[in-house]
A = this chain, B = another copy of it.
Amino acid sequence: MNFELAKGVIEKAKTSGEMSIIIGTCMVKYEGRAASKLSSGDRLLIIKGDGSFLIHQSDKMQAINYQGPGAAINASIEKEDGVEKFIVIAAREKPKERIEVKFSAVQFAQNFKMKDDEKLRVFGSERQLSDLLMQDLQLIEDGLVPIQQESPLHKGTIDILAKDKNGNFVVIEVKRRDAHLNAVSQLERYKNEMQKKGSNARGILCAPGISETALKLLEEKGLEYYKLTYQIGNPSAKIIGLQKKQKELNDFF
């Protein structure tokens, strides 16, 4: 396919706000927060109306190179060793980065008008689970009363802050997926932070599962784990159960 045509497609999209689809044989170079190089092969290049820039290979889910909204796009045709190349560059400042796509052949280039004002609605997010749990803290323990949700702390944000019947602060961290070491460290930071504020504090992790090592660390740190069972539904998820889990005492001996 003609490079002039492909160049025209990209330039037109700049003013029309359409999405450009280019398919061809190209090399890709990236310099910015990291650097990378991809030798010649067939790729799909997508340039969206907002400047988002994506290069896909023929497999894998993820774009091999990309740049977020707001990139400045530039298309040109240049001779290299007497051979014409079609070059598309996406560049931006802050952070300074630049992707160069050098086509030796273009199979396809076309713009598409895309009208779309809809937003994705997600059910079963961590925030939703947290909302549900907030409404029914009794699931965890009798006498637990909510104080605040998404409580901003100096070192992070607590999912749910509550008080137990003995007047202790209880920091609750909710995870949608199995919890790992990071989740435990996160909870530990919050608990420590609360303890510094004076009164005694407990930390509770609620997740559908937890790794062996994470559970061990959690117990070492004096935190508690509750297995959270839930069902995803529309328009909202639903908590099915919440069960305290811990190693048997004799596991320690």
A-side residues, CB < 8 A to B, are 19, 21, 23, 28, 31, 33-44, 46, 48-50, 52, 54, 56-61, 63-69, 107-108, 110, 112-125, 154-156, 176-177, 181-182, 185-186, 188-189, 213, 216-217, 232-234, 237
Question: Given that A61-B67, A112-B23, A213-B155 are known contacts, is A35 also in contact with B118, CB under 8 Å in the complex?
Answer: no
Instruction: Give me 20 other A-B pairs in contact (C-beta within 8 A), A154-B213, A189-B217 excluded.
Output: A34-B176, A35-B123, A35-B233, A36-B123, A37-B120, A37-B121, A41-B114, A41-B117, A41-B118, A43-B116, A48-B58, A49-B58, A52-B59, A52-B61, A58-B114, A58-B116, A59-B69, A107-B112, A182-B182, A185-B189
CB <8 Å contact, B35 and A124 = yes
A95 to chain B, nearest CB (A): 10
Distance A80 CA – B217 CA, assembled complex (angstroms)? 54
CB <8 Å contact, B232 and A34 = yes
Q: Say which residue of B52, B59, B156 sits within 8 Å of A181 (CB atoms).
A: B156
Number of copies of chain A assembled together? 2
CB <8 Å contact, B56 and A61 = no
Distance A185 CA – B184 CA, assembled complex (angstroms)? 10
A64 to chain B, nearest CB (A): 5
Distance A19 CA – B108 CA, assembled complex (angstroms)? 13
A211 to chain B, nearest CB (A): 10
CB <8 Å contact, A115 and B41 = yes
CB <8 Å contact, A37 and B117 = no
CB <8 Å contact, B122 and A35 = yes
CB <8 Å contact, A42 and B116 = yes
CB <8 Å contact, B61 and A31 = no
Pairs A–B under 8 Å by Cβ, sample size 6: A28-B120, A36-B123, A50-B58, A61-B63, A107-B112, A189-B217
Distance A44 CA – B107 CA, assembled complex (angstroms)? 18
A123 to chain B, nearest CB (A): 4
Q: Which residues of B contact A181 (CB under 8 A)?
A: 155-156, 186, 189
Q: For residue A153, which residue of chain B has the nearest CB?
A: B213
A106 to chain B, nearest CB (A): 12
Q: For residue A43, which residue of chain B has the nearest CB?
A: B116
